[in-house]
């Protein structure tokens, strides 16, 4: 098992903040909008350096999406920012009609996604957003795994022409990917090569998959760990190549199992190469108020649970 070490922990939303600040200096077409959450979305540096390219929309998310769509007509690249629950569930109609349907170059950047929002509870813990957004034609969906990958993804989506949903989070997690990485939309990253099981992971669950891989290695099980940071377009080639090698798979995500990464992987396997697949994710339920660690434990989004599912998948080969 390849060894991954880290010297610090940072929140992925700060990776977004660093990325958009850099874009503010390098790309004069980038505009930042927010719905009363500039601080939470780490926009302070961008606003300080580019006050004329910042739009405070207030608590009016639907209007923010409409304004963003309009800005693209003039050649601007709007980054519309708010919490993931408000960025998708509250404004889905506006995204569908004004952004996806007309293929507008809007970047919807959503923080505080999933259970790790923590104490704010179920009303704010969106677990359906990846499924909602990947179903929209023209929409690219990205869920990076740490601070550095989130920053790299933020820079990459500015160069991508078309609607993008970029999902990131609130908790501090290990920074384990390279600071100088080049983010390639739609191209999975092989975290570790193995021959016994494929683990397809995304977002905060990538680090948990790495920890699971270390546990499995001690038991003589070699895991092929693949970071699927781009949910759509999905790297089907990487998925099939891995499962043809290992013969079984586990998906791991901080999202509802229905409609998430595991759902996409299952479709690829069903169409091309049927193989045992087990899931790590939330099972058809809302979240609740607790600390991020408590919630990850309760809902089974942990390394030890990944290990359990790996053994189930291998037993089904």
Active site residues: 61
93 CB burial (10 A radius; 0-12, 13-18, 19+): exposed
- Nearby residues of 93 by Cβ (< 8 Å), 6 or more positions away: 62
Residue where the block lists tokens 């087990």 = 278
215 CB burial (10 A radius; 0-12, 13-18, 19+): middle
Q: Give Cα 41 to chain centroid, integer Å.
A: 15
- Nearby residues of 110 by Cβ (< 8 Å), 6 or more positions away: 81, 82, 83, 84, 87, 88, 129, 165, 166, 167, 168
Residue 120: count of CB within 10 angstroms of its CB: 14
Distances (CA, A) of 296 to 71, 114, 124, 167: 39, 10, 16, 18
């Amino acid at each position: 098992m390849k060894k991954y070490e880290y010297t610090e922990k940072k929140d992925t939303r700060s990776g977004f903040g660093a990325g958009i600040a850099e874009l503010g200096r390098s790309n004069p077409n980038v505009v930042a909008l927010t719905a009363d959450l500039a601080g939470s979305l780490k926009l302070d540096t961008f606003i300080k350096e580019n006050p004329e390219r910042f739009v405070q929309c207030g608590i009016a998310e639907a209007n923010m999406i409409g304004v963003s769509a309009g800005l693209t007509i003039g050649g601007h690249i709007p980054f519309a920012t708010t919490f993931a629950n408000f960025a998708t569930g509250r404004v889905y109609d506006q995204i569908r009609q004004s952004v996806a349907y007309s293929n507008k170059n809007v970047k919807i950047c959503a923080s505080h996604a999933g259970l790790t929002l923590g104490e704010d509870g179920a009303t704010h813990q969106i677990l359906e957003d990846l499924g909602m957004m990947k179903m929209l034609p023209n929409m690219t969906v990205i869920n990076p795994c740490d601070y550095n990958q989130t920053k790299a993804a933020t820079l990459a989506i500015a160069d991508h022409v078309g609607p993008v949903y970029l999902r990131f989070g609130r908790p501090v997690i290990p920074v384990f990917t390279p600071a100088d990485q080049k983010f390639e939309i739609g191209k999975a990253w092989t975290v570790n090569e193995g021959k016994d099981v494929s683990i397809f992971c995304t977002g905060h669950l990538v680090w948990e998959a790495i920890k699971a891989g270390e546990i499995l290695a001690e038991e003589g099980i070699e895991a092929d760990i693949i970071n699927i940071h781009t949910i759509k377009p999905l790297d089907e080639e990487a998925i099939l190549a891995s499962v043809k090698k290992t013969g079984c798979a586990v998906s791991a995500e901080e999202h509802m199992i229905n409609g998430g990464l595991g759902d996409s992987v299952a479709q690829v396997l069903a169409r091309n190469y049927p193989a045992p697949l087990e899931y790590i994710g939330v099972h058809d339920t809302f979240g609740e108020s607790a600390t991020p660690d408590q919630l990850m434990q309760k809902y089974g989004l942990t390394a030890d649970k990944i290990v359990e599912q790996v053994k189930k998948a291998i037993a089904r080969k």
